[in-house]
A and B are shown apart, each in its own frame.
Chain A
Amino acid sequence: MSASSNSGAFRIKGAGRHTPARTARFTFDGKSYTALEGDTVASALLAHGVHLLGRSFKYHRPRGILTAGPEEPNALLDVSRDAARRQPNVRATVQEVFDGAKIASQNRWPSLRYDIGAVNDVLAPFFAAGFYYKTFMWPKEAWHKIYEPIIRRSAGLGVSPTEDDPDHYASRYVHCDVLIAGAGVAGLTAALSTASTGKKIILVDEQPEVGGALHYDTSTTIDGQNGYDWAQATVAKLKAMPNVTVLTRTTVFGYYNHGFLGLVERVTDHVAKPSKDAPRERLWQVRTKKVILATGSIERHMVFANNDRPGIMLASAARTFLNHHGVAVGRNVGVYAAHDSAYEAAFDLKRAGVSIAAIIDNRDKPGEAVLAEARALGIDVLTGHSVVDTAGRLRINSMTVARNGNFDRRKIKVDALIVSAGWTPSVHLFSQSRGKLKFDDANQRFVPDIYAQNAVSVGACNGTDDLAELIDEAISAGGGRLALSGETRFEWTGGMIGATEGAGPDHAVKAFVDFQHDVTAKDIRLAVREGMHSIEHIKRFTTNGMASDQGKLSNMHGLAIASEMLGRPIPQVGLTTFRAPYTPVTYGTLINHSRGDLFDPARKTPMHALEEAAGAEFEDVGNWKRAWYFPKRGEDMHAAVNRECKTVRDVAGVFDASTLGKIEVVGPDAAAFLNLLYTNAWDTLKPGKCRYGIMTREDGFIYDDGVVGRLAEDRFHVTTTTGGAPRVLNHMEDYLQTEFPHLKVWLTSTTEQWAVIAVQGPKAREIIEPFVEGQDLSNEAFPHMSVAECTVMGVPARLFRVSFTGEVGYEINVPADFGQSVWKAIWERAEGMGACLYGTETMHILRAEKGYLIVGQDTDGTVTPDDAGYGWAVSKKKTDFVGIRGLKRPDLVREGRKQLVGLLTRDPKEVLEEGGQIVADPNQPKPMTMLGHVTSSYWSENLGRSIAIALVAGGRSRMGETLYVPMADKTIVVEVTDMVFFDKEGGRING
């Protein structure tokens, strides 16, 4: 056999643009086939006479290939490279064959030819529009257990892969002056014109080669050259220009606000052995000053009974398969049309040696030129006729034809039927850009009317049919000067939308409007009869246009049928909204680099590696990885934390506090500014001293807290909670820039400038003393709540005497790069003295033993300083601070507000659950009156019992009261106490 016959019995010698010697092998449902390079899966299978490609969504009807492009609703396949690289729902008309591709049909069992689900087709009367809504209403429980699993198994499309996607996806932001969507005659001409002005342009086309309709349209010549050849020569010229970027195999899937467009470039899906560095797809996020839309038009099918059999396809598709791929879609082809363009398909096929059974034209008057040509070629033309039925189980074998208005029928044998109802301008991107369409009544189509962005539509997507006019339009859209002439053999006329006679009106026939969702003309009529009068309701009731092809073929037909039923003209029925993406986009492309390590930044402190080496378990706090606890060999978390808690209070502990937010507040008005932002008074704080501060929002609720150290008259070192750092800085900047701009003060984030090593415990001073120079650490010279700039291990440092444990405590701030070195030295000495490393869990417990608050854990955005027991931190003397007025609101000063208190369980071994609800009487009828909830709860090894903090209504007036925490299996008895559980006198902190 010759190479060409290898690649399929339906290859036509001399037709098509592929090289017969360049072949690729692939399998379809396990059977091996040879394709030619440049074939789509659709053209390759058709070359072998394979028309049956899948089963339909709802009725499991045999389906084939309807189109030759991205609008394909039927031929969805499962394409895989290997076990992990498998993609369901791939359009056979878009996927290029690559050597080694494994392709499988979907939605069939046990096989494509014998599919049990096809019983749905027989049961079809039960599956009419709205079926799900009406049938599965009751009983409610049955939905999840019975109906949904069955429906999910029997309906639906492909199966998603279960393995992680091993491919990677790239992303690129790019800017240009003009983006041109579509590289057919109009797009290429506009590109030539624009490029000649020197503007930076991006020309995008979704096909592997440019040319658009010139792929099939062989009767158009441009500048005397065959159209397709002109397109290739033109794109080569454009690619050579420095101001032009050409992206093929790239779809403009979204046209968003302000000249922002999303493009997906398919980089390796057509390659047999892709390079490891090549992304599978690349997301282009384009910002452009102007868009030229040259998106062409999409041919519509005819709506008639059993119009969905394999072998029935669009006329332009048949022409593409013949003229571009060199494949005949049959040996004896019927034509059913309401538009002249289908005739040209018949002419091309006839000339290629395919017999044309007949052209059935729904119109009484086809274009004269095509009619004359048909006669000259000896093709039978039946005008004013309809195809009223078809036959053939797995592929069409005949069509039944009747004169319009007449019941006489006759059967004509065919092995393929090509159809055309005319062309729908592709206004998807225009509409996504929020432009408004108008209805062109004469041609029964929507075309762009009012633009919402700087865009212009040219060519078929603008309803411009005449080639000379189209070229002029494209040249002028580009703003350049260009002389270009085009000629085409036939001027096309005709077109219809809606159902033909063969679709009903109300026979029990299936005349498909939407192939992918199995929506028939009857379904749409039923929807109207059942009271759906808005196209939006009709769409949802029938699911017309709601499949992954978004109704590219079906929307206009559906609209026309609804309009006829409603007796309202189409513009009054309206059009459903076009939404991005134009065609499906993979999640891989949308997330591109944001996976694995790049999903989210993992922030690590300067000492992270040392903590890891010391065996730390880490917890996530925002993006930070914080050391949670440091288990020794054989210790579980509980044992490790108990040991750490004991050791800190008995000896000392070393803790990484680097993640604390830090803001440097500098300027002569620094104290005045902090006075306005915190509830406390700051002008009374002397340099060298620290103070615990509470920040409220304007509504009076606690927003953040932290220790603030005054380094100098005009310099404060403010700390915030770990998670609060960015929002606190934003909050401060907001007030500084917009409410208090007269203040001479500036804010700088210094969170990451400093590595912070906290040393806490009775031996803390002894541990750090040898490392500190320039500061006397004695209690007298450096008491609790002091701050000093000094030297630690020869490095300029900020030393804080602060405590979040109730023990003597220091926080050593050194420039981040020195963190590891200082930590190592301090830990070496501390370890020798019997101290421990401790993590955030121990930190939480030790602070709870002292009743110290954690904003965001013990507070929730509805807690005032007084509610938290921190009323002392609110200055009574200040005349203004953020929150001063909010705190006086009636609800914030009323009796009985929830207040933070301590809780001790009657059984000391019982540890409450955080979030547990608190009631006064556990025997009261449900729903019970909730008094509040547990905010913090721990086992305290130091106290040998559990402790808890809770928000309780009127909490401070309930000291000693017994309350209850009802749990699922028991009720826990608790006693209300104050929040300080350990060292109530507070002597330890002063050493």
Chain B
Amino acid sequence: MLLIHCPYCEEDRSELEFRWAGEAHVVRPENIAAISDEEFAEFFFLRNNEKGLTYERWRHIHGCGRFFNAARDTVSDRFLMAYKAGLPKQPVPVAEKFAAIAEEKSVETWEQTEGDAR
């Protein structure tokens, strides 16, 4: 079970209190009524679903109730940072990034352990 830092409660809390809310920094166009089908598809349907460092939204739904953004490495599940909603995409501190990469390498992934089973 993940331990998630809530930037509003300023504390690490159990994943139980949170709900994942999809990719972060997908901005709803101000002129949404006027955008093209392609732009709408880009905004509403298409997500990057990146492996590794991702920015995602969480809601501390059973805590302070706030939505916030977090940078998480989807390979190691390590949270690199969490910051309040409304702030622009925050760069991940370099040290954190290196730690995450090292960790990513240390983690046994499917590719490493079962990959050659293909």
Contacts and interface: CB of A to CB of B under 8 A. Distances in A.
A598 B61 CA distance: 22
Contact of A738 (B14, B44, B67): B67
Interface stretch (A253-261, A318-326, A459-467, A941-949): A253-261
Top 3 closest pairs, chain A to chain B, by CB: A450-B106, A258-B3, A534-B117
A739 interface: yes
B67 A734 contact: yes
Given A257-B2, A259-B3, A434 B107 contact: yes
B116 interface: yes
B108 A577 contact: yes
A733 B33 contact: no
A123 to B, nearest CB: 31
A537 interface: yes
Nearest to B66: A737
B113 A738 contact: no
A733 B106 contact: no
Contacts of B21: 734
Contacts of B86: 738, 741
B44 A699 contact: yes
Contacts of B103: 452
Contacts of A258: 1-3, 77
Interface string B38-49: 001000100000
A200 interface: no
A44 interface: no
B84 to A, nearest CB: 10
A873 to B, nearest CB: 18
Nearest to B21: A734
Contacts of A889: 37, 40
B57 A738 contact: yes
Interface in A779-825: none
Interface of B: 1-3, 14, 19, 21, 28, 32-33, 35, 37, 40, 44, 57, 59, 61, 65-67, 76-77, 85-86, 102-103, 105-108, 113-114, 116-117
A667 interface: no
Interface of A: 256-260, 285, 287, 431, 434-436, 449-452, 533-534, 536-537, 574-577, 698-699, 730, 733-734, 737-739, 741, 879-880, 884-886, 888-890
B57 to A, nearest CB: 7
Given A287-B14, A733-B67, A739-B28, A886 B117 contact: no
Nearest to B19: A730
B81 to A, nearest CB: 15
B1 A436 contact: no
24 contacts: A257-B2, A257-B3, A258-B1, A258-B3, A259-B3, A260-B3, A287-B3, A449-B106, A450-B105, A536-B113, A536-B114, A536-B117, A577-B114, A730-B19, A733-B65, A734-B59, A737-B66, A741-B85, A741-B86, A879-B33, A884-B33, A885-B40, A888-B33, A889-B40
Nearest to A535: B117
A886 B40 contact: yes
Given A257-B2, A287-B14, A880-B32, A451 B40 contact: no
A533 B2 CA distance: 35
Contacts of A890: 37
A500 to B, nearest CB: 29
B3 A436 contact: no
A698 B44 contact: yes
Given A257-B1, A738-B67, A537 B117 contact: yes
A533 B108 CA distance: 20
A259 B3 CA distance: 8
Given A257-B77, A536-B114, A879-B33, A435 B2 contact: no
Contacts of B57: 738
A741 B66 CA distance: 12
B116 A534 contact: yes
Interface of B is mostly: mixed
Contacts of A435: 106
B67 A452 contact: no
Contact of A436 (B35, B37, B77, B107): B107
A431 B85 CA distance: 36
Contact of B32 (A257, A259, A738, A884): A884
Contacts of B105: 450
B44 A574 contact: no
A576 B44 CA distance: 40
Nearest to A262: B1
Contacts of A256: 1
Contacts of B35: 885
Nearest to B13: A287
B108 A431 contact: yes
A430 to B, nearest CB: 11
A259 B15 CA distance: 12
A730 B61 contact: yes
Given A741-B86, A884-B32, A451 B106 contact: yes
B28 A730 contact: no
B47 to A, nearest CB: 14
A739 B67 CA distance: 11
A577 B117 CA distance: 13
Contacts of A880: 32-33
Nearest to B41: A889
A739 B57 CA distance: 13
Contact of B85 (A451, A699, A737, A885): A737
A174 B2 CA distance: 15
Given A577-B113, A734-B59, A739-B28, A434 B33 contact: no
Given A434-B107, A733-B67, 6 more contacts: A257-B3, A257-B77, A258-B1, A576-B113, A738-B86, A888-B33
B56 to A, nearest CB: 13
A576 B35 CA distance: 51
B79 to A, nearest CB: 8
A433 B44 CA distance: 36
A574 B117 CA distance: 11
A144 B28 CA distance: 53
A574 B67 contact: no
Nearest to B105: A450
Contact of A885 (B33, B76, B77): B33
Contacts of A738: 57, 67, 85-86
Nearest to B45: A699
Nearest to B34: A885
Contacts of B3: 257-260, 287
Nearest to A883: B32
A650 to B, nearest CB: 46
B62 to A, nearest CB: 11
Nearest to B67: A737
B40 A434 contact: no
Contacts of B14: 287
A436 B40 contact: no
A449 B37 CA distance: 52
Contacts of B116: 533-534, 574
B91 to A, nearest CB: 21
A436 B67 CA distance: 35
A888 B85 CA distance: 30
B83 to A, nearest CB: 13
A890 B40 CA distance: 12
Contacts of B33: 879-880, 884-885, 888
Contacts of A699: 44
A884 B28 CA distance: 12
A772 B77 CA distance: 58
Nearest to A261: B1
A435 B108 CA distance: 7
Contacts of A886: 40, 44
B68 to A, nearest CB: 9
Contacts of A534: 114, 116-117
A574 B113 contact: yes
B90 to A, nearest CB: 16
Contacts of A733: 59, 65, 67
A733 B113 CA distance: 42
A572 to B, nearest CB: 9
A386 B115 CA distance: 38
